[in-house]
Amino acid sequence: MPNDAAQPRGELTIRTLAMPADTNPAGDIFGGWVLSQMDIAGSIAAHERVRGRTVTVAVEAMTFISPVKVGDVLCVYTTIERIGTTSITVGVEAWARRNRQDDRVKVTEGRFVYVAIDDSGKKAPIPPA
């Protein structure tokens, strides 16, 4: 899922501010916080396409490229990469706007897999677009 261009790929799905409470012992933003923001964005994209409940079943090809700093605005972009019978794969890129400016840097990317479920929690078919 490499993106050699200096522009995000996909649709801006969430944007949030990295706060001091989210830091690791080195003072950078904890990778788990970034991962959770990416999962939230991926689940929003999956839910919108499926038009129903989804659950995360896998995180593939997760790559941390650059640290997120306190005060960065984390912008998470999503792209639907694959739709199966019951599963949907979402490409997710996280970009940081440093010092809340327009200067952006890609900080991580990954592929998240979600499964559509019905009200009883069983796999459900994904409806056509």
Q: Could you read off the pLDDT tens digit of each residue along the chain, which spans 129 residues?
A: 444 458 999 999 999 999 999 999 999 999 999 999 999 999 999 999 999 999 999 999 899 999 999 999 999 999 999 999 999 999 999 999 987 677 889 999 999 999 999 999 999 999 998
Q: Is residue 69 part of a domain?
A: yes
The range of the structural domain enclosing residue 51 comes to: 11-116
Q: Is residue 123 part of a domain?
A: no
Give the pLDDT score at 1: 46
The 8-class DSSP code of residue 40 comes to: H
What CATH number corresponds to the domain at position 73?
Answer: 3.10.129.10
| Mean pLDDT score of the chain | 93
Report the number of distinct structural domains present in the chain. Answer: 1
3-class state of residue 20 by DSSP: helix
Q: Is residue 1 part of a domain?
A: no
Q: Is residue 121 part of a domain?
A: no
**If we measure between CA atoms, which residue out of 77, 72, 78 comes closest to residue 96?**
72
